Amino acid sequence: KAGVTQTPRYLIKTRGQQVTLSCSPISGHRSVSWYQQTPGQGLQFLFEYFSETQRNKGNFPGRFSGRQFSNSRSEMNVSTLELGDSALYLCASSLGLSTDEQYFGPGTRLTVT
């Protein structure tokens, strides 16, 4: 079974621009969660989607948004990029419950200059 895939793997953007990251979950998984990982803050939860509905949202500004499609694929968008948004963005998929095992993709490394 194919694992979680994320595209692109690396991205360099300029302050003020916007960016869209994509995540394809493991086949049959209906829940997708997004995390931001930085050296200072560690792994922080962004949001979780289940059956196209946002089920949970972390403590991030409204510039961070996401969505899930009917095939469970998910995208997250960050508008008006700031230098502090530079991070590794990880996507994880699970069968359905937040307490299920979450399987992570390789991440998208975003650098904002």
- Which residue, 1 or 101, is less far from other proteins as judged by CB? 101
Nearest-approach distance from CB 16 to other proteins, in angstroms: 27
Planar angle of CA 25, 56, 9, nearest 5 degrees: 40
- Which residue, 6 or 81, is less far from other proteins as judged by CB? 6
Query: Residue 72: what are its φ and ψ, rounded to 5°?
Result: 75, -10
Helix (H/G/I), strand (E/B), else coil: 83: helix
- Interacting residues toward other proteins by CB under 8 A: 33, 42-43, 45, 48, 55-56, 58, 88, 90, 92, 97-107, 109
Nearest-approach distance from CB 106 to other proteins, in angstroms: 5
Bridge partner residues of 23 (DSSP): 6, 74
